[in-house]
């Protein structure tokens, strides 16, 4: 599926939405670029994913102590094309994950 997405982006044939956020916290500056596009119907398994509407890509670039790291994550979603809603869903997921880890760290 990733090849199909890259092909669509390179060809300029897809309607994609992008949103960029920047924040400074915990001793690092982080820029997140959210990209959301319609799921390519030509992808293998498209028909097996009932409700599949969009594919999202989040590129996170962090600078801490002068060192940069880049992380890229891919998502499939039943959300319609609304990049800000997609970004809220991604951030909401990670806040739940981080909260669970914090509780486990404190308990153990």
**Residue ranges per structural domain of the chain:** 2-107
* Contacts (Cβ under 8 Å, ≥6 apart) of 81: 15, 17, 36, 37, 38, 53, 54
By 3-state DSSP, what share of the chain in percent is helix, strand and coil, each rounded to 5? Answer: 35, 40, 25
What is the predicted pLDDT for the residue at 15?
80
- Percent of the chain topping pLDDT 90: 45
Q: What is the mean pLDDT of residues 7-12?
A: 59
Read off the pTM. 0.71
**Which contiguous run of DSSP H or E holds residue 107?**
helix 83-107
96 pLDDT more than 60: no
d(CA 98, CA 100): 5
């Amino acid at each position: 599926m990733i090849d199909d997405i890259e092909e669509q982006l390179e060809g300029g044939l897809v309607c994609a939405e992008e949103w960029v956020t920047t924040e400074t916290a915990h001793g690092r500056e982080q820029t997140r670029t959210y990209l959301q596009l319609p799921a390519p119907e030509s992808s293998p398994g498209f028909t097996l994913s009932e409700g599949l509407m969009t594919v999202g890509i989040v590129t996170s670039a962090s600078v801490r102590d002068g060192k940069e790291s880049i992380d890229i994550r891919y998502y499939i979603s039943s959300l319609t094309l609304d990049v800000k809603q997609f970004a809220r869903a991604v951030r909401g997921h990670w806040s739940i994950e981080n909260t669970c880890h914090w509780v486990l760290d404190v308990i153990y």
